[in-house]
Structure 1
């Protein structure tokens, strides 16, 4: 439980749908100012995102974050914002997962992250879906090397249809979630989630578990919201995400993340 004078020392922020609109890099002025004030008060502000490193760096530079760690690919990639180097890199073998997905999701397209570069792709994604260099390959080459992040988009289908097609399905060696806005699956190494990786980072930083705040909006944020002493879901988050949080703020269109940070770091 937080107290009236409580102020978080470790703040985990999702990007898409939380501090930026989905797939965009622009941060609203109110959100940007609130993050800057939190950093100025000595809080560890950690971007914790499902984006690849390639898709995250622009946001990091835009916010001017230094002396912190960014968790990309749902925590599979840790990136030091000062040295601009990868300090942790977790991967998994996608062969068994792809064996199941290709049969269950006919016509789907797939991307495997090449950290800091782009993606191998099997099938063609719509323009703008993935960041960085894309190299289209056959299935055998696609599964030949481990990756920190496997994504799948089932074109022409809804998230609900994707979830139904994959009900009770396990992807060997992987932890996976489905986006609530697109028929888009993201898989990473088993045991690697935003919550688990934030806990490891918290211990490394020496921050008390009682001094943590997380804000997010997606299914991949559930573990993160449960991890935090105060987990806050965005107003547009689906019910299952809001139910995992301690509180709900305004939507991304209402600068909901700024409203939360303003409570603890007022102008």
Structure 2
């Protein structure tokens, strides 16, 4: 199994453009019989353009909360939580923050206005009461602040009932249901396919990739990944701008 993050691994952050060398390397892996699994924090609607370019066996979206089978174009798992308490806690701590909950396969409901290009699919601004509905994924952007400022502000934050992480490229926080991560999703998916974690290669660059990288038999961090992500990986590849994912895959699928 080859588990691949998207943003900062297959593509530059926020882009759907996969470099030719990376596309070729992933295709060779599939041709050798590997199950290619996209494993991303993006919502399902956000992976469509990327998945169409690759021989994808499965996709694990929303940090593990949504599973998608491209063979049948169907969602096979969708785990949800109540985002209301988390929104209230973050609003009190982080003034000028905006929020969005995922409408799987459609887009988002937002509380406040995000920056252009932040959200995939259709976005509709709603009230707090309309936001507080079961969702697989809640995202928050702290407008006017840096990732470092957000990391410092939430250093002692407790958010009961959710798993959450902070992005290293934007002042962005993602929350998903409890006990859900890329690692837990891949563990269940691989077991259903009869694949041992020792036979898995995972490549990623963000805080939400830590569980995935430690789960896989070989976890590879991208060269631009933060120090704490590189620290848990077995190896560090070149950066996304150097087609690092391709270079990692080419060792096994030349």
CA RMSD of aligned residues (A): 0.8
Corresponding position of 1:83: 72
Q: Deviations over 1:213-254 (max 9, x none)?
A: 100000000010000100000000000000010000000000
Is 1:189 matched up with 2:189?
Answer: no
**TM-score, structure 1 normalization:** 0.94
**Post-superposition offset of 1:177:** 0.4
Asked whether the equivalents of residues 87 and 99 of structure 2 are also in contact (C-alpha less than 8 Å), the reply is no
Offset of residue 69 of structure 1: 1.4
Separation (CA, whole Å) in 2 of partners of 1:208 and 1:189 = 25
Matches within 5 A, 1:91-170: 91-143=80-132, 145-170=133-158
Distance 2:32 2:39 in 1: 20
Q: Is the contact made by 2:23 and 2:53 (CA closer than 8 Å) also made in structure 1?
A: no
**Equivalent residue for 2:215, pick from 205, 227, 236:** 227
Distance in 2 (CA, whole Å) between partners of 1:112 and 1:196 is 22
Give the count of matched residue pairs.
254
Quick check: 1:52 aligned with 2:52? no
Q: Which residue does 1:25 correspond to in 2?
A: 16
Distance 1:155 1:242 in 2: 28
Secondary structure of 2:109's aligned partner: strand
Q: Which runs of 5+ in 2 are unaligned?
A: none
Q: What residue is the counterpart of 2:186 in the other structure? A: 198
Secondary structure of the residue aligned to 1:146 is coil
1:35 equivalent to 2:26? Answer yes
Give runs of ≥4 in structure 1 deviating > 2 Å.
none
